Amino acid sequence: MAPLQHPARREPALPKTVVITGASDGTGAAAARLLVRDGHRVVAVGRSEAKTKAVADELGVHHFVADFADFADFADFADLHQVRTLAAQLADHCPRIDVLANNAGAILGDRHVTADGFEETFQVNYLVPFLLTNLLLDTLLASQALVVQTSSNAARLSARVDLDDLDNARNYSPVRAYGNAKLELVLFTRELHDRYHEQGLSAVAFHPGGVASNFAQTSRSPVGTLFRTPVPRLLFQSPQKAARQLLRFVTPTPEECVVSGAYYENGKPRTLKAPPIGPQLWEATTALLDLNKR
């Protein structure tokens, strides 16, 4: 891994163009507000047309809708075609993308297979950002962009990636499936760095900490039960505070040295005990998504 910034390109000229998924609520919406306040161009992506439009109208920015997960009806899960449509729309609308913030995610419940044939936690938290990033790769490379992945400490606390069971068919639990997907996201981040950093692309993953937001409130898991109580509002940080962690990567101060390819907790790189299967996971994922190899 290498420092994200170096003297040859310390900071792109302001304003930056930042695409944020999960921008209709919580940390994503808070980050969008802070970025616009600081003069950046934001493109808000969310699953709810009404909520995403409300945030976009408030900030005077463009928005797109992609229903990565229909949380109102878990029996009818959105397909990956919407991600492909979103990528085409973003490529048309944004000739330059300085930052892609893959912020959308969810912890779900009982094991469910999507219309695309994938376990839903695996799809929402890993396949969606992998697909969106790869479909936008030409624009990201041309822009010498930064990809920021919202991961979780579940990646080190409750994860064990099995290349022979990416769909979590064995020993399924909502927390384990979520942790697996977030660890896969960290491995994807490292691979982005290894494959494309020399071409100008940078990538980081981070754990935002506990956030008092609507995250998991519709989940069928015990975590969802917790989030439907007052406890998160009393003990967890605000979305605004979590958003500042995301902004630390988007607009680092001169004193900071953000490391491309790293996973962050509490503002510092943290080593994860994970098998060195990043290349194999990348190849397996491109095959699952029928992506052309680059």
Residues assigned a catalytic role: 178
The four Cα atoms 105, 111, 117, 118 give a dihedral, to 10 degrees, of 40
Residues ≥6 apart with Cβ < 8 Å to 270: 156, 263, 264
> What is the spatial distance between Cα 178 and Cα 99, in angstroms, rounded to a whole number?
25
> What is the spatial distance between Cα 189 and Cα 278, in angstroms, rounded to a whole number?
9
Sign of CA dihedral 80, 86, 87, 89: positive
C-alpha 82: how far from chain center: 16
